[in-house]
Amino acid sequence: MTTPTEHIESLFANAGEYLENKTELWKLKVVDKTSEAVSSIAEKAIMIVVGIIFFILLNIALALLIGYWLGQSFYGFFIMAGLYGIVGLVLHLSKNKLIKTPVSNMIIQKFLK
């Protein structure tokens, strides 16, 4: 027959194991969420790099085409530069709404998912 002190010792031993297992589970969840977020960011970064290369080549082609239509190739580059200057100004003026908030929300969603 077991005594009350043995039951208490057993209870404390089980509680210790429970805390260790809970801590280990928490660590694994943190690692899972972190790896998911990092892999998602890496995937998006690779797609952005490929998109940028495509976009640069397309813009060079458009600038040369516009320059060909206007008679001087540098005219096309000036027009494209002016267009991107306007786009850059619009992005700068609305950077919180268009860039900062969506990126922050994406990162928060990845960690809370």
Which tokens hold the place of 24?
């280990």
CA 102 centroid distance within chain = 10
Number of domains in the chain: 1
Q: Could you tell me which residues come within 8 angstroms of residue 101 by beta carbon, excluding any fewer than 6 positions away?
A: none
CA atoms of 66 and 82, how far apart (whole Å): 13
Check whether 4 has a pLDDT greater than 80: no
> pLDDT of 66-75, one tens digit each?
999 999 999 9
Which tokens hold the place of 13?
């031993």
CA atoms of 102 and 100, how far apart (whole Å): 6
> pLDDT of 77-105, one tens digit each?
999 999 999 999 998 898 888 888 888 88
Supply the range of the domain harboring residue 11.
4-112
Q: Kindly report the pTM of this predicted structure.
A: 0.58
